[in-house]
Amino acid sequence: EVQLVESGGGLVQPGGSLRLSCAASGFTFSSYEMNWVRQAPGKGLEWISYISITGSTVYHADSVRGRFTISRDNTRNSVYLQMNSLRAEDTAVYYCVKSSNLNYYIDFWGQGTLVTVSS
């Protein structure tokens, strides 16, 4: 059974940093591309970050580029999201998601972790 378990969310002040982790199981993690998707309270889904199988290729949405960094550790079956210079508008549930080959669609979602940016 595929499982994606996010952790690391919480309350942080504007300008602060947070690192999200996602532990994967139930599939060959090192064979799949991964992403992070977020959802602000009462709002829609927003794709924010992609990482290739080896971690050599990453992409970020314009809204987080330069502030967020996605990475992965295939030895630990984990993907991470380092979030710096956080803003109030970054408040959201952050989902770790597993992708199809070549990232054409998302085929499994974690349960999400809530990040709240507030003073």
Q: Which is nearer to another protein, 78 or 99 (CB)?
A: 99
- Measured CA to CA in angstroms, residue 41 lies from 15, 31, 72, 75, 93 at distances of 20, 32, 27, 34, 8
**The binder of another protein chosen from 2, 17, 25, 107 (CB under 8 A):** 107
Residue 106 interacting with another protein (CB under 8 A)? yes
Residue 110 interacting with another protein (CB under 8 A)? yes
At closest approach, how far in Å is the CB of 31 from another protein?
16
CA neighbor of 27 nearest in space, from 6, 54, 4, 50:
4
CA neighbor of 84 nearest in space, from 20, 5, 6, 7:
20
According to CB under 8 A, which residues from 64 to 103 bind another protein?
95, 100, 102-103
According to CB under 8 A, which residues from 13 to 72 bind another protein?
33, 35, 37, 44-47, 50, 52, 57, 59, 61-62
d(CA 73, CA 55): 8
- The number of helices, as runs of H, and strands, as runs of E, in the chain is 0, 11
Task: Tell me which residues touch another protein (CB under 8 A).
Answer: 33, 35, 37, 44-47, 50, 52, 57, 59, 61-62, 95, 100, 102-112
